[in-house]
């Protein structure tokens, strides 16, 4: 038991202290060892099938980390991406996730999700990778997120899209050229044109 526990803890440390159950088992940790460590308070269950060493500092973005680990094809979008980039006063009450058109609905009960199926370039363009708590998170860039908000204005609200555009341009945080490029990909170039002209 002791040797198995030590080996399990060592394996967790080599992986930033965070593993999915399937990964842990692949790396040679017996399910029984996982549950014993959880029951002893050495591991914390971040979400179903996701464990983390209890002695690590708290996750700064536990919901985004959970989504990145549990939904590998998911990309953080819309309100969650605006919040990440500090472009909104909205507080996301769910994680907004873009998925490719052919993917199934993920089975994840926590955190709450708002799912959007994107296709073609609307899904693949403008993806950035940021590291949070040692985990790579896929998230859309500032400009792509603003264009997405105009495309999904009926879901997020036109005022949210306009606030994001204003905040994005105020601090010269995003390029007009890239905004136009993503507006074209999202097919909202005509809609965004007068607002872009007013802010140019």
- Give the pTM: 0.79
Of 53, 73, 88, the residue at which a domain comes to its end is 53
Number of domains in the chain: 2
- Contact criterion met (CB below 8 Å) for 18 and 69: yes
> Is the pLDDT at 1 greater than 60, yes or no?
no
Residues 69 and 46 in one domain: no
User: What is the predicted pLDDT for the residue at 106?
Assistant: 85
- Contact criterion met (CB below 8 Å) for 70 and 111: no
Residues 113 and 27 in one domain: no
Residues 21 and 75 in one domain: no
Residues 127 and 46 in one domain: no
Q: What CATH number is attached to the domain comprising 121?
A: 3.30.460
User: What does the DSSP assignment read for the chain?
Assistant: -HHHHHHHHHHHHHTTTEEEHHHHHHTT--HHHHHHHHHTTSEEEEETTEEEETTSPPPSSHHHHHHHHH-TT-EE-HHHHHHHTT--S---SSEEEEEETTPPPP---SS-EEEEEE-THHHHTTEEEEEETTEEEEEE-HHHHHHHHHHTHHHH-HHHHHHHHHHHHHTT-S-HHHHHHHHHHTT-HHHHHHHHHHH-
User: What is the predicted pLDDT for the residue at 200?
Assistant: 64
Q: What backbone phi and psi angles, to 5 degrees, belong to 103?
A: -90, 155
User: What is the predicted pLDDT for the residue at 161?
Assistant: 95
Residues 66 and 104 in one domain: yes
Residues 14 and 77 in one domain: no
Which has the closest alpha carbon to 142: 84, 67, 198? Answer: 84
User: What is the predicted pLDDT for the residue at 59?
Assistant: 73
Residues 37 and 119 in one domain: no
pLDDT tens track for 72-119: 899 999 999 999 999 998 888 899 999 998 888 888 777 889 999 999
> Is the pLDDT at 124 greater than 90, yes or no?
yes
Mean pLDDT along residues 125-136 = 90
Full domain range(s) for residue 164: 62-199
> Is the pLDDT at 4 greater than 70, yes or no?
yes
Pick the more confident residue, 14 or 115: 115
Task: Round to whole Å and give the CA distance between 131 and 103.
Answer: 24
Task: Round to whole Å and give the CA distance between 122 and 79.
Answer: 16
Residues 48 and 69 in one domain: no
Distance of CA 196 to the CA centre of its chain: 27
> Is the pLDDT at 155 greater than 60, yes or no?
yes
Residues 104 and 153 in one domain: yes
Residues 20 and 101 in one domain: no
Residues 16 and 72 in one domain: no
Residues 173 and 152 in one domain: yes
Task: Round to whole Å and give the CA distance between 31 and 50.
Answer: 12
165 CB neighbour count, 10 Å cutoff: 23
């Amino acid at each position: 038991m002791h040797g198995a526990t030590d080996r399990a803890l060592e394996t967790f440390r080599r992986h930033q202290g965070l593993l999915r159950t399937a990964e842990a088992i692949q790396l040679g940790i017996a399910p029984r060892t996982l549950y014993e460590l959880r029951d002893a308070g050495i591991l914390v269950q971040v979400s179903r099938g996701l464990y983390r060493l209890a002695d690590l500092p708290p996750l700064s973005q536990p919901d985004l980390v959970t989504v990145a680990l549990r939904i590998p094809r998911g990309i953080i979008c819309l309100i969650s991406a605006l919040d990440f980039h500090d472009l909104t006063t909205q507080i996301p009450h769910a994680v907004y996730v873009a998925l490719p058109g052919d993917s199934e609905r993920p089975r994840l009960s926590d955190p709450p999700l708002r799912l959007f199926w994107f296709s073609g370039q609307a899904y693949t363009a403008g993806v950035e990778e940021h590291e949070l708590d040692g985990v790579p998170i896929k998230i859309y860039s500032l400009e792509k997120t603003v264009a997405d908000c105009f495309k999904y204005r009926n879901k997020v609200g036109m005022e949210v899209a306009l606030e994001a555009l204003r905040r994005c341009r105020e601090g010269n945080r995003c390029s007009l050229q890239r905004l136009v490029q993503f507006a074209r990909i999202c097919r909202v170039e005509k809609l965004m044109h007068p607002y872009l002209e007013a802010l140019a």
